[in-house]
Amino acid sequence: MEKDRYEMRFGGSGGQGVITAAVIMAEAAGVYDGYHVCQTQSYGPQSRGGNSKAELVISRREIDYPKVIKMDCLLAMNQAALDDYFYDFEPNGLLVVDATFVEQTPTSRTISLPFTAMARELGKELVANIIAVGAVARLCGKVSLESVEKAVIARVPAKFRELNEQALIAGIKAAEEVDLDRLPRSIPLEDVYGDPTG
Amino acid sequence: MEKDRYEMRFGGSGGQGVITAAVIMAEAAGVYDGYHVCQTQSYGPQSRGGNSKAELVISRREIDYPKVIKMDCLLAMNQAALDDYFYDFEPNGLLVVDATFVEQTPTSRTISLPFTAMARELGKELVANIIAVGAVARLCGKVSLESVEKAVIARVPAKFRELNEQALIAGIKAAEEVDLDRLPRSIPLEDVYGDPTG
């Protein structure tokens, strides 16, 4: 059975385009795949100079609470964003980081792909966020890749359409090399020691 | 005393850029003016082909509930968005509509400015949303215009910086022609008939 809420958080520095990435993912799921989606940005007085975070909740039902409670997927575009936004991570969730800027991860259950380095190879560092969208979409399996492509095309300037499509495909391909079944899993303590009430 | 929450909703069709407008306003308030801000987009299965809406809640305190409860400001970029998103309007709130596409308004307390026609005059219809941001920022008085300018510059492509700055200024100037004190006010019934408990 499909889980009721799928919760994602994207974090990165101001120029890394995490809000655009979240809006694209939200439009793929909400406009083209017919989910209920709430997409939020929160800022506080300490926002200046720091990282931004964007959150999405995706559900087949109406969404009562629009913010992340137990995060199924975290995309961190740099080390500070990972350190700051890892809280609320569901232990067997999907942690995706930009290997270009992240050296240390809080769990071995991490998918590390060099989004920014890949974007530089395409000639434009700015599309690292679109590469990341492609990878996360493929890895989480929550939205159709066709819908993600439509959402990217609708959101980016027409002039950069081809570059962004290349970026999306590069991200999807990189994710296809990842074997999710080989990632370590967090085992609940009751499964290790037996259920004390059993 | 400053009201605890200032709640805004921006509505328009897919291409009218209301999400970008809301993100810019949120970054002006949150990143540069030091408010707490929650900015949300919600989509449902009926989203396709329809209008988008974006909401912001701005507060000096932490925000418990991130969505609009009693809307202090509505920006409607077309007639359907106005019809769909007028609910929850605070009777003495600020209703701003794009006169290019809105013919009929639900209250005479409306500020009607031709954002899209003004954008066409600047040579690019796409900047109607930035003109609207300038007007709304000036009219609501909640965020500093300097912060709005910084947020616009940070968010739009460098190539279109000058055009967007022109658009912002055009919106601010158009708003300066509006005399808010001359707008009709909604008078609570107890002020008309007297307080029955008094």
Residues in B touching A47 (Cβ below 8 Å): 30-31, 34
Q: Does A48 contact B32 at a Cβ distance shorter than 8 Å?
A: yes
Q: Does A48 contact B34 at a Cβ distance shorter than 8 Å?
A: yes
Q: B2 pLDDT exceeds 80?
A: no
Q: B34 pLDDT exceeds 90?
A: yes
Inter-CA distances, A163 with A111, B132, B136, Å: 24, 30, 34
Nearest-by-CA chain B residue for A30: B43
pLDDT of amino acid A196: 62
Do the beta carbons of residue B11 and residue B18 sit within 8 Å? Answer: yes
Residues in A touching B66 (Cβ below 8 Å): 40, 42, 66-67
Nearest-by-CA chain B residue for A17: B155
pLDDT of amino acid A198: 53
**Residue A112: burial class (beta carbons within 10 Å; 0-12, 13-18, 19+):** middle
The whole-angstrom distance between A40's CA and the closest CA on chain B is 4
For CA atoms B60, B177, B54, A134, give the dihedral sign: negative
Strand, helix or coil at A12? strand
CA distance B58 to B62: 9
Within 8 A by CB and 6+ apart from A118, the residues are: A128, A131, A170, A171, A174
Give the tens place of pLDDT for each residue, B88-113: 999 999 999 999 999 999 999 999 99
The whole-angstrom distance between B155's CA and the closest CA on chain A is 9
Q: Do the strands A36-43 and A51-59 form a parallel or antiparallel pair, or are they unpaired?
A: antiparallel
ipTM for the predicted complex comes to 0.88
Question: Which one of A27, A41, A157 has the shortest CB-CB distance to B39?
Answer: A41
Q: DSSP for chain B, please give it.
A: ---SEEEEEEEEEGGG-HHHHHHHHHHIIIIIS--EEEEEEEE-TT-TTSEEEEEEEEESS--SS-S-SSEEEEEESSHHHHHHH-TTEEEEEEEEEETTT----S-S--EEE-HHHHHHHHT-GGGHHHHHHHHHHHHH--S-HHHHHHHHHHHS-GGGHHHHHHHHHHHHHHHHT--GGGS-----HHHHH--TT-
User: How confident is chain A (198 residues) per 10-residue block, as mean pLDDT?
Assistant: 86 92 97 96 82 95 93 97 96 96 96 98 96 98 97 92 98 96 82 67
Decide if A87 touches B, using CB distance below 8 A.
no
- Closest among A33, A139, A132, A39 to A78, alpha carbons compared: A132
CA distance A189 to A186: 9
Q: Do the strands B36-43 and B71-76 form a parallel or antiparallel pair, or are they unpaired?
A: unpaired
Instruction: Give the ranges where chain A is alpha helix by DSSP (H).
Output: 18-27, 79-85, 115-121, 128-140, 145-155, 161-176, 189-193
Cβ neighbour number for residue A31 with a 10 Å cutoff: 24
Question: Which one of B31, B39, B62 has the shortest CB-CB distance to A48?
Answer: B31
Q: B198 pLDDT exceeds 60?
A: no
Decide if A38 touches B, using CB distance below 8 A.
yes
Which single residue is written with the structure tokens 């499964």?
Answer: A191
CA distance B176 to B183: 14
The whole-angstrom distance between B91's CA and the closest CA on chain A is 26
Phi, psi of B6 (to 5 degrees): -115, 120
Residues in A touching B65 (Cβ below 8 Å): none
Do the beta carbons of residue B26 and residue B148 sit within 8 Å? Answer: no
Residues, chain A: 198
- Closest among B50, B67, B113, B114 to A38, alpha carbons compared: B67
**Residue A122: burial class (beta carbons within 10 Å; 0-12, 13-18, 19+):** middle
pLDDT of amino acid B45: 81
pLDDT of amino acid B37: 97
Do the beta carbons of residue B42 and residue A31 sit within 8 Å? Answer: no
Which single residue is written with the structure tokens 């009721």?
Answer: A4
Q: Does A42 contact B44 at a Cβ distance shorter than 8 Å?
A: no
Question: Which one of A26, A34, A47 has the shortest CB-CB distance to B41?
Answer: A26
Residues in B touching A34 (Cβ below 8 Å): 45, 47-48
CA distance A108 to A17: 26
Residues in B touching A27 (Cβ below 8 Å): 43
Decide if B41 touches A, using CB distance below 8 A.
yes
Nearest-by-CA chain A residue for B59: A44
CA distance B121 to B138: 21
Do the beta carbons of residue B33 and residue B147 sit within 8 Å? Answer: yes
Give the tens place of pLDDT for each residue, B151-178: 999 999 888 999 999 999 999 999 999 9
CA distance B56 to B66: 8
Q: Does B27 contact A43 at a Cβ distance shorter than 8 Å?
A: yes
Q: Does A43 contact B26 at a Cβ distance shorter than 8 Å?
A: yes
The whole-angstrom distance between B15's CA and the closest CA on chain A is 8
User: Any idea of the CA torsion for B100, B55, A149, A9, to the nearest 10 degrees?
Assistant: 160
Which has more confidence, A196 or B26? B26
Decide if B72 touches A, using CB distance below 8 A.
no
Do the beta carbons of residue B170 and residue B118 sit within 8 Å? Answer: yes
Q: B180 pLDDT exceeds 80?
A: yes
The whole-angstrom distance between A185's CA and the closest CA on chain B is 33
Tell me which DSSP letter residue A60 carries. Answer: S
Question: Which one of A29, A63, A154 has the shortest CB-CB distance to B14?
Answer: A154
Decide if A157 touches B, using CB distance below 8 A.
yes
Nearest-by-CA chain A residue for B38: A42
